[in-house]
Structure 1
């Protein structure tokens, strides 16, 4: 699914008006009707009044239509026009159709709203391009002061939130729900705006599909159509050699759990064969906890600078992919071992956890990475690797630029994990939940990605599919209790995640 800019969304509206054909008033009616239906379905039977705040533009016009449609269905509706600025033609046309419309000229006229109900925020939409200030900002503050007593539902965007640039520190509606039209907006996918958007609901309004098909964008949201295009069903005549031999370098004294979790995920993701290279202290643990994996060991408790011999990497075709980092530690000898490995290996590779921490301590090693590796930092690891930024829009641009500069795939973990590709494209993953904020979850993701690369998936395909599977398995595991989730629960639901693709 493409993520469009505010300008492109305006173009999509104009294209629909020109080619359907439909006039702008009818398109507004269509969008508002979809929102009104959601509001009726969600709050039917609650007897809550609706308090609708409308701005002077087309977002306010949507609010005016919603007010009329809800009132026509017998709901208790009060509506206010926040009279700041010249109304758009469609807004003005709809004002005449709402006879109960009242006007707020200044913050002191803010209504009491004594009965707990639902505030509908239709003040400003995707067209906002500068921070709100003055008495408009004061109205935003007053609406936010009603949280807890009233639900707040924003139409298209929480008012004050800009679609394409940072709103950090600016006044903005704190919505419980955001009903956004047709396309996800970039701002709704970034962590700094989560507190404003609440739960986002995508509302289709029938914009012309030909525009969506033709428009170019760097940003995409993974959806099931994309996942089913990437996924490759198994060949009934295949054997274990068909699905690759992965090498996993993981674990150290006290951190063998990371190695075990990652190893299990490699095989659950579908790799045919797995060799796990662990320090000597982990041999019995690995062989006991996961007998499906072959095991090589170091004599030391950490990885030495000479592990190219036990790796047998001079016969590199034995392996199809290497995953490295979970629980390895960052000792200087381990860093030297990684350096030697990078000098011997030019195939597919996944680097996570301590491998990334080593790269941040010895950044010259970044230049030794084979092209098109997958790096999987969480936000702090990303900051250690590439530096801090002032906001999440700047961080997203840094993510894109580093992926292109280094010719690597970089996955930045989060609620909507962002995956930057060397060609400048970014894919956001919608699956996953707060229950996955638990020790070992990242080790499982490393294993899944390694397992997909072993099977011959290209790095971009493995990145998108693996991240989706990881989040979907987490969603299935969280169905009982996100608080009680542990990382092995994600592994336990990978088969069910695959089954959803196959339906």
Structure 2
């Protein structure tokens, strides 16, 4: 896992670093800009199109008045030192920060043009832009508050701030590679999708990456993200923030080990309440995914009308018909909602399912919609609970439990999880997991996973992996009951493991097979999880 920081936390880290070493801001800018240039230089070397231009590559820096603009100016100086000669900058007409002013002076000494924004005509700006191969976006940095204003807004509008908006180069002429420094200008802690922001092709993000760059609505503004490390001390980074970027290598540490003598009950018990007429596939996928996660004993409860259709499926789970009174089996985890429908009897059943404080509950799909439509249901849920909404279901939850949808995503998911006192796994092209005061982010960006049944697979994986953790805790603790906090922590870890396994399996399938269906995804998840379970040292 890697740390993610809010913009405010990033500024605190910058200040702490300067205080630790007694650094002038210009010295820290020197280190950061050199790391940024080295990363961009490597990208240029690996791009056949850019590499072919050699040292004639044209780079334009568009610089605001702050230190982000200073970083862009310093990068031009490093480019000059590397032998590039076709370099220009357009700087803010406003008074520059001391560090940015110093960087401008260095470039002027080297004969690199740095005209002010306000002194150039629109045609001159467009010409400079169109003649460039790379444009460095240094207009605004992490200190932005609210919407861009004044000259900064004009710079953003000049570059094109919205999806589909033409950039400054006239149609048919060269469109340069837009490279944002640290984060696209306009993004910040208070950014929402209705506010302007640069749409970059490439974003050179200083580590720790800003979490706003990985919010669902902002991620597409960043283009390809390349992280740039070795700027801030590792011990200070380790103390900063409470958000984490999940990586596929984290999966092994999140899985409970499987002992050679384990049997079905010792690997966890899951009860799934899913499916309805016309949506039997959701129930099947959930059950199969729980098995793929390594859970040992799976109950699948379905409506009586659906029971005959599934009874002859030959699957290895325990199939039970729903009666008038809900029969709650002895289990570690209950998963409810996939393909469930919204009949009136579901409300009373949901109340019954959430009544046990020592049992984990996962609500997905239609169960989430029921909770959103019947907010009073929350009071009847005593179980430690997790929600797995897709974007539409997430909006429904916000309407019922707040805060307003217009709030920044990082604030809304934190407030929602706190209000409900539940873990929230908000799944989309970028998935966020908010549990307590800690959040985890999975940078999915795998459109092939956008297939019917994909969410059912994720829910089943989550339930199965959580059941494994609870069963392991039960065995180690020699008791069937353990603290609510321990159960909630297990939920966080299982949710993280589920999104990694789901996302990693999707990437593998996309790479090997192209488009795929949910059944193939289940098989790929099983292979990924079992492959880790089978490694030497994983069995204990």
1:474 to 476, 484, 506: 506
What is the CA-CA distance between 1:343 and the residue it aligns to?
Answer: 4.3
Query: Match for residue 158 of structure 1?
Result: 184
Decide which moves more: 56-65 or 388-397: 388-397
Query: Match for residue 301 of structure 1?
Result: none
User: What SS class does the counterpart of residue 132 from structure 1 fall into?
Assistant: coil
1:337 to 328, 349, 356: 349
**Higher relative contact order structure (alpha carbons within 8 Å, sequence separation ≥ 6):** 2
Decide which moves more: 265-274 or 189-198: 189-198
Query: Match for residue 417 of structure 2?
Result: 403
1:376 to 388, 399, 406: 388
Query: Match for residue 142 of structure 2?
Result: 126
For the 8 Å contact 2:388–2:426, the answer to whether it is kept is: yes
User: What SS class does the counterpart of residue 191 from structure 2 fall into?
Assistant: coil
What is the CA-CA distance between 1:5 and the residue it aligns to?
Answer: 2.8
Query: Match for residue 233 of structure 2?
Result: 208
For the 8 Å contact 1:278–1:296, the answer to whether it is kept is: yes
What is the CA-CA distance between 1:353 and the residue it aligns to?
Answer: 0.9
- For 1:54 and 1:333, the matched residues in 2 are separated by 61
Query: Match for residue 415 of structure 1?
Result: 429
C-alpha distance 75-283 of structure 1, shift in aligned 2 (>3 A): farther
- For 2:331 and 2:303, the matched residues in 1 are separated by 19
2:223 aligned with 1:198: yes
Normalised to the residue count of structure 1, the TM-score between the two structures is: 0.88
2:260 aligned with 1:241: no
What is the CA-CA distance between 1:406 and the residue it aligns to?
Answer: 2.8
User: What SS class does the counterpart of residue 110 from structure 1 fall into?
Assistant: helix
Query: Match for residue 386 of structure 1?
Result: 398
C-alpha distance 186-266 of structure 1, shift in aligned 2 (>3 A): same
Alignment map for 1:295-374 (pairs within 5 Å): 295-298=319-322, 306-308=324-326, 311=327, 313=328, 316=329, 318-343=330-355, 347-374=359-386
- For 1:345 and 1:4, the matched residues in 2 are separated by 34
- For 1:53 and 1:385, the matched residues in 2 are separated by 41
What is the CA-CA distance between 1:172 and the residue it aligns to?
Answer: 2.2
Query: Match for residue 146 of structure 1?
Result: 168
- For 1:253 and 1:264, the matched residues in 2 are separated by 19
- For 1:29 and 1:175, the matched residues in 2 are separated by 23
- For 2:208 and 2:297, the matched residues in 1 are separated by 41
C-alpha distance 395-209 of structure 1, shift in aligned 2 (>3 A): closer
Query: Match for residue 479 of structure 2?
Result: none
2:152 aligned with 1:136: yes
Query: Match for residue 437 of structure 1?
Result: 450
For the 8 Å contact 1:67–1:77, the answer to whether it is kept is: no
User: What SS class does the counterpart of residue 3 from structure 2 fall into?
Assistant: coil
- For 1:155 and 1:344, the matched residues in 2 are separated by 50
2:197 aligned with 1:175: no
1:33-55 deviation line (CA, Å, top 9, x unaligned): 22222222222324142222222
Query: Match for residue 524 of structure 2?
Result: 493
What is the CA-CA distance between 1:175 and the residue it aligns to?
Answer: 0.7
- Please provide the CA RMSD for this pair: 2.7
C-alpha distance 389-182 of structure 1, shift in aligned 2 (>3 A): same
C-alpha distance 333-111 of structure 1, shift in aligned 2 (>3 A): closer
Where structure 1 has 5 or more consecutive residues not aligned to the other structure, the ranges are 299-303
- For 2:461 and 2:331, the matched residues in 1 are separated by 16
1:17-76 deviation line (CA, Å, top 9, x unaligned): 343575543432222222222222222324142222222322122112211222332335
User: What SS class does the counterpart of residue 479 from structure 1 fall into?
Assistant: helix
User: What SS class does the counterpart of residue 453 from structure 1 fall into?
Assistant: helix
What is the CA-CA distance between 1:348 and the residue it aligns to?
Answer: 0.9
Where structure 2 has 5 or more consecutive residues not aligned to the other structure, the ranges are 46-50, 161-166, 471-489
Normalised to the residue count of structure 2, the TM-score between the two structures is: 0.83
For the 8 Å contact 1:219–1:425, the answer to whether it is kept is: yes
What is the CA-CA distance between 1:271 and the residue it aligns to?
Answer: 0.1
- For 1:233 and 1:451, the matched residues in 2 are separated by 14
Query: Match for residue 497 of structure 2?
Result: 465
Report how many residues are paired: 487
For the 8 Å contact 1:12–1:208, the answer to whether it is kept is: no
User: What SS class does the counterpart of residue 103 from structure 1 fall into?
Assistant: coil
What is the CA-CA distance between 1:218 and the residue it aligns to?
Answer: 4.2
1:112 to 104, 117, 127: 127
- For 1:283 and 1:375, the matched residues in 2 are separated by 26
